Amino acid sequence: MITESPNRALALPALIIAALASLVICPFVGMEPIPVTVLSDSGAVDGALRTVFWQIRVPRTCIGFLAGAGLAACGMAFQAMFRNALATPFTLGVAGGASLGAALYVRFGLSFALLGISGVSIFAFLGALGSISLVYGLTRLRHGFSTAALLLAGIAVNLFFSSLIMLIQYTSNYAHSFRIMRWLMGGLEIMGYERVFQLMPLVGISILVLYAVTHELNLMTVGEELAISRGVDVRRTKGILFIATSICVGGIVAVCGPIGFIGLMAPHICRLLVGGGHRRLLPATCLFGGLFLIICDTLARTAIAPAEIPVGVITSVLGGPFFVWLLVRTPAGGLNIALR
């Protein structure tokens, strides 16, 4: 049997430890540092801080981890499925679709909720599902719709949606316009655990589904025809992947807004850490995505306290340069997935 380099073997345990550590530490960090004694019932910490900790910081950290893990996992699935370094649900227009849904909701002054889920989330969810269906439809349109064409279509769809959003913003009043802009930046501002419990099954089940098809993802990375000849039912696998990722990404975007970059970047970094095999890559990517987002959120909460920076801004500001550095540093082809 081939033994791998010790670095690769250590990467996953290291990520697990880092993720656990940040899950535990981040809720204590913020505008108002909270002492560890908050965990005991002794009453050493006053009630308001206790509420901040349990009703704001902890749920916010949970939702950050869920969203980061889910976005990263779906990015990984799309990169494998389309054999392309740039293919993620977001680059293929999902963020645009979700944002358009949310903008429409705000612009027309709608105000409703369904089963305790806010209308803006429902509109964003529908927008995300709509754009993933569009992508899926395009891939099914005719035999051999190339990935390059698909990416171009995704760019076109994104541009089209963002023009519509600009139009909506332009014709909105000031308050609506600001609300739309703020939504577009993404954020994890939640109170209590309702949203966490809404999102957990969506993300959890989707990741489990992805875990069930890791052998297929490996083969699809190598090539669709080879995958078929090895016995993969590619049509079925793609169908499963599209359903799982739409539900996952749709749910996350509905709750947190379009938080960019994690889906693109996390899988690439983890490929460098643990290699291209998806059995290992999927958990690594989930851990890294979750970890990255809660760290970004902690920065968002503290960097210019008492004000907050939208977390979507932080992920891109931090992630962008880091990713470019990685691209430059890594020898050609080192990102281990085709750039075509």
Partner 1 sequence: MSEAALQVRGLSCSINGVAILRNISFSVAAGSYVSIVGPNGAGKTTLLKCLNRILNGTADEVQIEGKALADYAQAELAKVMGYVPQGGTDQVPFLAYEFVMMGRYPHLSPFTSPTATDHAAVLQALETAGAADLAGRQCATLSGGERQKILVAAALAQEAGIFLLDEPTTFLDPHHQDDVLRLLTRLNKDCGATIVSVTHDINAAVLSSDDVIALRDGQVVFQGPPEALTSGTVLADLFDQEFHFVEHPVNGKRLIVPLAVR
Evaluate the CA torsion angle 261, 76, 123, 154 in order and state its sign.
positive
Stretch that binds partner 1, among 44-52, 58-66, 213-221, 261-269 (CB under 8 A): 213-221
In whole angstroms, how close is the CB of 273 to partner 1 at the nearest point?
A: 13
Distances (CA, A) of 127 to 104, 130, 138, 245: 10, 5, 17, 14
Please identify which residue in 211, 243, 302, 318 interacts with partner 1, judged by CB under 8 A: 211
What DSSP string runs through 39-82? GSTTS-S-HHHHHIIIIIIHHHHHHHHHHHHHHHHHHHHHHHHH
Minimum gap (Å) between residue 200 Cβ and partner 1: 21
Tell me which residues in 224-253 interact with partner 1 (CB under 8 A): 225-226, 228-233
In this chain, which stretch among 32-40, 259-267, 270-278, 300-308 interacts with partner 1, using CB under 8 A?
270-278
Give, as ranges, the residues between 280 and 299 that touch partner 1 (CB under 8 A).
Answer: none
- Residue 219 touches partner 1, criterion: CB under 8 A: yes
User: Which residues are bridge partners to 117 per DSSP?
Assistant: 114
Q: How far apart are CA 215 and CA 48, in angstroms?
A: 49
* CB neighbour burial string for 158-174, b if at least 16 within 10 angstroms, e if fewer: beebbeebeebbeebee
Q: Which of 169, 206, 221, 298 binds partner 1 (CB under 8 A)?
A: 221
**Cα–Cα distance between 180 and 327 in angstroms, integer?**
33
CB 28, CB 162: distance < 8 Å: no
Which of 212-220, 282-290, 298-306, 314-322 is the region at the interface with partner 1 (rule: CB under 8 A)?
212-220
Binding mask 138-177 for partner 1 (x = CB under 8 A): ----xxx---------------------------------
Count the site residues for partner 1 by CB under 8 A.
33
Q: Which segment (53-61, 136-144, 253-261, 292-300) binds partner 1 by CB under 8 A? A: 136-144
By C-beta, is 41 or 225 nearer to partner 1? Answer: 225
Q: How far is the CB of 284 from partner 1 (least distance, A)?
A: 14
Quote the DSSP letter at residue 117.
Answer: E
- Among positions 48-107, residues that touch partner 1 (CB under 8 A) are 83
Quick one: 254 or 286, whose CB is closer to partner 1? 286
Cβ-based neighbour number of residue 135 at 10 Å: 23
Q: Which of 49, 21, 13 is nearest to 290 (CA)?
A: 21
**Residue among 191, 222, 305, 324 that touches partner 1 (CB under 8 A):** 222
In angstroms, the CA 157 to CA 165 distance is 12
Q: Using alpha carbons, list the distances in angstroms from residue 210 to 41, 93, 155.
A: 40, 21, 26
In this structure, are residues 79 and 337 in contact, taking their beta carbons and an 8 Å threshold?
yes
Please, what is the minimum distance in Å from the beta carbon of residue 108 to partner 1? 44
The residue range among 50-58, 93-101, 208-216, 296-304 that interacts with partner 1, by the rule CB under 8 A, is 208-216
Tokens of 45: 């910490």
Would you say 140 or 230 has its CB closer to partner 1?
Answer: 230
Answer yes or no whether residue 276 interacts with partner 1 by CB under 8 A. yes
Which residues, listed in sequence order, are joined to residue 113 by a DSSP beta bridge?
118
One of 17, 148, 212, 305 touching partner 1 (CB under 8 A):
212
Residues that bind partner 1 (CB under 8 A): 1-2, 83, 142-144, 211-213, 215-216, 218-219, 221-223, 225-226, 228-233, 271, 275-277, 279, 333, 336-338
